[in-house]
A and B are shown apart, each in its own frame.
Chain A
């Protein structure tokens, strides 16, 4: 194996481990942190089914964002949905051996790259030109968009222009990563940039704003149902405190009159 292939192979595993361990820790933290009070935001579903539906609309359709701002919604949704389709299409590279026929259906998903890039460009333009969004943007916010744009554009260049890379080699490399049959990878610069940024993105996932992905599922304003009056909701620490009668006030304010 070439040095460069060894480097990228190692980078993949390191990124993957950082991603998995980091995400597991973060999700564990979100999971274990109690939500002591009922704080859902209207319109709050009255049933658990309603909450599941609300979450699905939020995740699949960006319902709240749609209410908020049609442009951000449009670009944001184009990017995310495009990315999803493109990712699904990428499974073929990691699939060891011959592809099942079902993958034929994902062939047109390559065009989703355009949706993705258009969405990202839109978001970038808004970040640069809308004064309010520029004000709240840190360098990392631009950097994240730039990385995703380069990933999207380099991928599209390989797919839609004559700058194809050796797709057989890519498949051997990628599926080799999964099956531990390591292989050399093509060395065209745009391909290397493409996968380098993808691996980096994977690694920074748990320490960046990409945490919005697990975050939405743990958001108490979105995942709680409206049953405050009919069911006593109490966190572990509050219950403990209650049992010990240990509120700070009781000590400082004196006993009840």
Chain B
């Protein structure tokens, strides 16, 4: 399947490419089949009256989502977004320009739902939803990582992710689902995580991890409790953290931080997944179903805090949607939300990000670090799109940019940002988000990574950056795969909590070590010095 393609050459400056029409034409990712479609309530193959089904679904979606209705009507084709998508910049295919991608959907909307499109289709670019159009939808809406960079630049805030989600939902109901997302969702909704890891396997993995850490730290018994009723914190983390590299080193970091704080915490085998691919396929129902498992785990385990590990879209779903979907949050006035919210401890934000938690401990001087442990590294931080553009941390303006950087700077001496136009709210996607992290989409993943790789190249050359830190499981997996294609070291991608893990000074058993006072930079330097001597 994987066809040969040219890996983009990294330019000294990011340039807007000339259009190459049709260069990313194709079949799209592997299609889902009956086995994966049915559990989600979608038909297993293209239905006979697919056209009618699709149009009806479009009508339903635009009446349920203000975003879809307003965005379809409001675009003036000004062109502001045309050079903002990493997939366009990396592939040159004009259909990867945000507005052109939306127009695949909008042209059909115009044909079927607007006066001008019905009577003057040519004039307004209205098009029929025929087989070719549907194939284009399938192909090009799976070349969008729903990163929302275009939305930052649009004068009306039009968010291609919303259109892309709507289109994928239409594709699902006509029986053209994507295998990768829907297969994974089946596992998450039956077994509890995307990897399909059952409880015994998860327990074994965690035991191994405990042994490994005990060995590495010279006898510190960092625990990874599973299904521990009455724990204070329920940690919901992407299941990649249990197995994948470099993710697992982040999980080691979380455990060490919890251990040092002395808080009781637990993972859940029933809800052992932070990721929620329901968002990628645009289905409110599926997304809610996945979120409800977490609610159930929180209720069953009687926890008072729900915390989220390093995962980009999981944090978007958790921060922005959980309160809506399942009531994990605060301020509910309805019975459903209140039931859970009565149980939660509202002295803490609900849900809380692991970065917020660690950051708070650092602020309060509860953690001690030997920053020199990371002295072999010059670190830069990749803002993951969902965290950067759709969430907050710490309840302060731009907190989602500030907190992770603060944590990194508290544990590393050498930190540099990439070029301003490629980070924070205008960050470039890693290229693998939004349900694209599958080998059958490798070409678009590599091409879409180009703008991020270009910015990374620049700080590598100018500042000697050799470590790329991220707080997203998809970013980490994607970078591990694509970094070598651009001649970077695949191991330069790390979890932020891996950096924490490497620098944190663990209390030895039986020896009460004085915890560090509230830290300032000078304190850090002193600590580092003491550690060196």
Contact = CB atoms under 8 A, between A and B. Distances in A.
Contact of B125 (A29, A34, A133, A140): A140
Interface string B381-413: 000000011101001111010000000000000
B350 A136 contact: no
B159 A221 contact: yes
Contact of A249 (B78, B289, B334): B289
Contacts of B336: 242-243
Contact of A140 (B123, B151, B321): B123
A228 B78 CA distance: 31
A46 B393 CA distance: 12
A64 interface: yes
Contact of B334 (A43, A72, A228, A234): A234
A104 B329 CA distance: 57
Contact of B288 (A29, A209, A247): A247
Interface in A118-176: 123, 126-127, 130-133, 135-141, 143
B341 to A, nearest CB: 8
A30 B70 contact: yes
A115 B286 CA distance: 51
A119 to B, nearest CB: 12
A212 B64 contact: no
A250 B189 CA distance: 11
Contacts, number: 253
B327 A42 contact: no
A98 interface: no
Interface centre among B155, B332, B333, B400, by most chain A C-beta atoms within 10 angstroms, is B155
Nearest to B98: A136
Interface string B411-436: 00000000000001110000000000
A230 B157 contact: no
Interface residues of B, number: 92
Contact of A65 (B75, B80, B99, B426): B80
A239 interface: yes
B509 interface: no
Given A212-B75, A226-B392, A234-B334, A35 B65 contact: yes
B90 interface: no
Nearest to A143: B123
A232 B334 contact: yes
Contact of B67 (A126, A204, A220, A248): A220
A141 B79 CA distance: 12
A216 B103 CA distance: 18
Contacts of A221: 67, 148, 151, 157-159
Interface centre among A222, A228, A251, by most chain B C-beta atoms within 10 angstroms, is A228
A256 B371 CA distance: 46
Nearest to B84: A68
Contacts of A235: 64
A141 B389 CA distance: 30
Contacts of B228: none
A33 B66 contact: yes
Contacts of B69: 29-30, 33
Contacts of A34: 64-66
Contacts of B425: 41-43
- Per DSSP, chain A at the interface is helix
B31 interface: no
Interface stretch (B48-56, B114-122, B458-466, B481-489): B114-122
A222 B392 contact: no
Given A43-B425, A68-B84, A229-B349, A209 B123 contact: no
Interface stretch (B33-41, B214-222, B491-499, B510-518): B33-41
Given A41-B157, A252-B41, A232 B103 contact: no
Contacts of B136: none
Given A140-B125, A207-B116, A249 B41 contact: yes
Contacts of A228: 319-321, 323-324, 329
B64 A33 contact: yes
B243 interface: no
Contact of B65 (A33, A219, A227, A234): A33
A89 B94 CA distance: 42
Interface centre among A133, A219, A248, A253, by most chain B C-beta atoms within 10 angstroms, is A219
Contact of A39 (B67, B125, B288): B67
A34 B289 CA distance: 21
Nearest to A65: B155
B79 A232 contact: no
Interface in B303-327: 319-321, 323-324, 327
Contacts of A242: 336
Interface string A80-95: 0000000000000000
A198 B99 CA distance: 28
A41 B389 contact: yes
A208 interface: yes
A43 B157 CA distance: 12
Contacts of A127: 79
Nearest to A248: B41
A58 B162 contact: no
A222 B83 CA distance: 21
B64 A36 contact: yes
Contacts of B120: 140
A253 B189 contact: yes
A7 interface: no
9 contacts: A41-B425, A58-B157, A65-B78, A76-B155, A131-B19, A132-B19, A140-B124, A219-B158, A249-B40
Interface of A: 26, 29-30, 33-44, 46, 58, 62, 64-65, 67-69, 72, 76, 123, 126-127, 130-133, 135-141, 143, 204, 207-209, 211-212, 215-216, 218-222, 226-235, 237-239, 242-243, 247-253, 256-257
Given A212-B74, A215-B70, 5 more contacts: A29-B69, A132-B19, A136-B77, A230-B329, A256-B296
